[in-house]
Chains A and B, each alone.
Chain A
Amino acid sequence: MNVSQLFGLTAAALVGLGVYGLIVNPQPLRKVLAFNLTGNGVFLACAVIAHRGAGAGMSGDPVPQALLITAIVVSFAASALAVGLMLRRFAETGTNSLAAADDAAPGEARTNAEAR
């Protein structure tokens, strides 16, 4: 087995672990963690592809590596937005759960919230 295959398997396992964490953990922050794990698995797969593309004097195919840098940065921004939503919701309600108890029953009037 060479390095590419080893990390390819690791990447697949990471994606699987991330998917498991996403489904099983009901709490948003843990889901964001699991999403990051899945993302890292995907990125590791891309790095494997880049490593296999070494040639022409370069140690790896530069195009997937450039894509990875973009993807890592975008993923951080996504985590930041998710954390912002969670913290704001916590500040408003004191909870951080996606449980259906928070969904207002359709008939309940939104008292003084003005729908724009």
Chain B
Amino acid sequence: MTTLALTGQSTPGGLLLALAVLLPFAGMLAGLAPGGRHAQRVAWATIVLGIGIVLEIAARLLVSGDALRYALGGWAPPLGVVLRADGLSVCMMLVVAVVVGAVAIYANGDFGTPPGTREARAPLAFWLLLLAVWGALNLVFVSGDIFTLYVALELLTFAGVPLVSLDGRAETLQAALRYLLYALIGSMLYLLGVFLLYGAYGTLDIALLAGRIGPGPLAWTAVALMTAGMLAKTALFPLHLWLPPAHAGAPAAASALLSALVVKGSWFVVVRLWVDVFGGMVGGSVAQLLAGLGAMAILFGNVVALRQVRLKLLIAYSTVAQIGYLFLLFPLAAQHESTRAVTGGLLQAISHASAKAAMFLAAGLIYSTLGHDRLADLRGAARALPMTLTAFALAGATLIGLPPSGGFLAKWLLMSAALATGQWWWALVMLLGGLLTSVYVFMVVVRAMEPAAPGWSPKKQVPRYQQFAVLGLATCSFLLGLAVLLPVDVAQIGRTVIPQAGMP
């Protein structure tokens, strides 16, 4: 039983998929040429238009109940390249659009071109890179061709690395260099997998590959290479070493983009490959290995986060841990409980994206107000920034998994899938992770709520709109659990039935 979207026809409105990818890039071009303050205005216009396009795509998806498909150039695969948006793609595109919008509102304060200068380096670079990240991510989500996916990953890397070193300090340059090296190795391994698949099956199209692929050494090597490459880019334990200094060293708005969005791109590629291409071909033991690494990431990341001295590093290690949750879905999806597992994983990705972005932005505001982000001296922050600390608490609640947040619903789905397939140990890991996360979230909030030293005043008055943006984002992540009330399981739209191939 294959869906309509596999029959090779472009669906009406498919052009929107191409526009969703190209609009941010066109915005980059339009922002680079005049430069200066215009870059920010162009970025704003692009964001507004882009959100509109993504909403339209989502509406069409829900109305048609099937994936959207677009054959670029009018050429059908295997010769041409197809863009394809199913429920998974659209959910990710929506969260990316929302987070980009919120970060843009926040960054208005930090990255506005100072009056009196025609053009400054960091603001221009930031606005261009913001659009770059957005376009690259949209391409990752809608690409239906594994080589175009490689180009999308390279775009994402080139957009993410300069964000790390945006302030030009020596530590961030080193962190950016390390990130770039890890990311390039990842892309190269992935590319080798692409070539092996083409050499074996003669096509680069995801839908066609899913039909032609079968167990064999070439396919297994391709799975191993492509997954390993993506693990390096997603910073799954033990390849996580580049992430904490990179995400903690970047400016707050850039950290939000990197932690919330950029790492989700490479994770999404793994999901797309395992769920759509390799399907039932991958053995259970490999999936257990992947989830095992995820479990170690959860435990290791949370424990190290507890020992941090600075807030931004704590949040970065928390990202290392939360990425582990994203990989728990694989052994659960390999069997007939796949709907719950995939939806749970998707929800985890979405909630983490919005919550982590809110957390990093909140940390940025705290730093601006206090002049530092040492955890031991957070007193007075809550009094000075009540909305921001509320946002931090809400975001933390999502990461812990408290109802009604998206994190709660995600963990609920994953745990019930784990228990239903008899893999109770993953549920245990998730509970333990939630416990550890709650320790450091409470610690931060409690310390911030202590009254300030007498005579202390904020270093800088942060504008209200920045606090509103952060609170809005955190509230979104906190209320995502209400998605359970949606009448349709959006993540399943456009999914094909996984052929139950016998395991080798």
Q: Do chains A and B touch in the complex (CB under 8 A)?
A: yes
Closest to A79 in B: B184
CB of B180 within 8 A of CB of A85, answer yes
The CA of A93 and the CA of B195, in the complex, are separated in Å by 40
Closest to B126 in A: A116
In chain A, positions 35-53 with a C-beta closer than 8 Å to chain B are: 35, 38-39, 42, 45-46, 48-49, 52-53
**Of A32, A71, A92, A115, which contacts B168 at CB under 8 A?**
A92
CB of A74 within 8 A of CB of B364, answer no
**Most chain A beta carbons < 10 A, residue from B170, B176, B252:** B170
Which one of B129-137, B286-294, B367-375 is at the A interface?
B367-375
CB of B177 within 8 A of CB of A103, answer no
Which one of B307-315, B332-340, B402-410 is at the A interface?
B307-315
Contacts of B252 in A (CB 8 A): 115-116
CB of A116 within 8 A of CB of B171, answer no
**Of A28, A42, A45, A53, which contacts B177 at CB under 8 A?**
A28
**Most chain A beta carbons < 10 A, residue from B157, B195, B253:** B195
The CA of A77 and the CA of B373, in the complex, are separated in Å by 36
- Shortest distance from the beta carbon of B362 to any chain A beta carbon, whole Å: 13
**Of B167, B181, B198, which contacts A82 at CB under 8 A?**
B181
Flag A95-116 by CB within 8 Å of B: 1 or 0 each: 0001000111011011001011
In chain B, positions 229-281 with a C-beta closer than 8 Å to chain A are: 245, 251-253
**Of B173, B198, B310, which contacts A49 at CB under 8 A?**
B198
CB of A52 within 8 A of CB of B199, answer yes
**Of A22, A78, A115, which contacts B312 at CB under 8 A?**
A115
CB of A78 within 8 A of CB of B192, answer no
CB of A22 within 8 A of CB of B185, answer yes
CB of A31 within 8 A of CB of B181, answer yes
Contacts of B44 in A (CB 8 A): none
- Shortest distance from the beta carbon of B202 to any chain A beta carbon, whole Å: 8
Flag A6-48 by CB within 8 Å of B: 1 or 0 each: 0000000001000000100000100110010011001001101
Contacts of B367 in A (CB 8 A): 115
Q: Does any Cβ of B come within 8 Å of A60's Cβ?
A: no
Q: Does any Cβ of B come within 8 Å of A81's Cβ?
A: yes
The CA of A42 and the CA of B192, in the complex, are separated in Å by 6
**Most chain B beta carbons < 10 A, residue from A22, A31, A115:** A115
In chain A, positions 72-96 with a C-beta closer than 8 Å to chain B are: 74, 77-78, 81-82, 85-86, 88-89, 92-93
CB of B176 within 8 A of CB of A109, answer no
Contacts of B154 in A (CB 8 A): 74, 78
Contacts of A48 in B (CB 8 A): 199
The CA of A115 and the CA of B373, in the complex, are separated in Å by 9
Query: What is the predominant secondary structure among interface residues of chain A facing chain B?
Result: helix
Q: Does any Cβ of B come within 8 Å of A67's Cβ?
A: yes
**Total interface residues on A, using CB and 8 Å?**
42
CB of B174 within 8 A of CB of A89, answer yes
In chain B, positions 154-172 with a C-beta closer than 8 Å to chain A are: 154, 157-158, 161-162, 165, 167-171
**Of B181, B308, B310, which contacts A28 at CB under 8 A?**
B181
**Of A71, A85, A86, A98, which contacts B191 at CB under 8 A?**
A71
Closest to A92 in B: B170
CB of A81 within 8 A of CB of B373, answer no
Contact flag A106-B313 (CB < 8 Å), given A85-B165, A116-B253? yes
Contact flag A78-B309 (CB < 8 Å), given A89-B174, A102-B171? no
Contacts of A2 in B (CB 8 A): none
**Most chain A beta carbons < 10 A, residue from B111, B167, B188:** B188
- Shortest distance from the beta carbon of B498 to any chain A beta carbon, whole Å: 28
CB of B170 within 8 A of CB of A102, answer yes
**Of B184, B204, B372, B374, which contacts A35 at CB under 8 A?**
B184
CB of B188 within 8 A of CB of A89, answer no
Given A28-B181, A88-B168, A89-B174, list of 4 further CB < 8 A pairs? A31-B181, A52-B199, A70-B151, A107-B309
List residues of chain A with CB under 8 Å of any chain B CB. Answer: 15, 22, 28, 31-32, 35, 38-39, 42, 45-46, 48-49, 52-53, 63-64, 67, 70-71, 74, 77-78, 81-82, 85-86, 88-89, 92-93, 98, 102-104, 106-107, 109-110, 113, 115-116
List residues of chain B with CB under 8 Å of any chain A CB. Answer: 79, 110-111, 147, 150-151, 154, 157-158, 161-162, 165, 167-171, 173-174, 176-178, 180-181, 184-185, 187-188, 191-192, 195-196, 198-199, 202, 204, 245, 251-253, 308-310, 312-313, 364, 367-368, 372-374
A/B interface sample: 25 pairs, CB < 8 A: A28-B177, A28-B181, A35-B184, A35-B185, A38-B188, A42-B192, A45-B195, A49-B199, A63-B79, A64-B195, A71-B150, A77-B158, A78-B158, A78-B180, A82-B180, A82-B184, A85-B165, A89-B177, A92-B169, A93-B170, A98-B178, A102-B170, A103-B245, A115-B251, A115-B312
Q: Which 4 A-B pairs have the closest CB atoms?
A: A116-B251, A49-B199, A89-B173, A116-B110
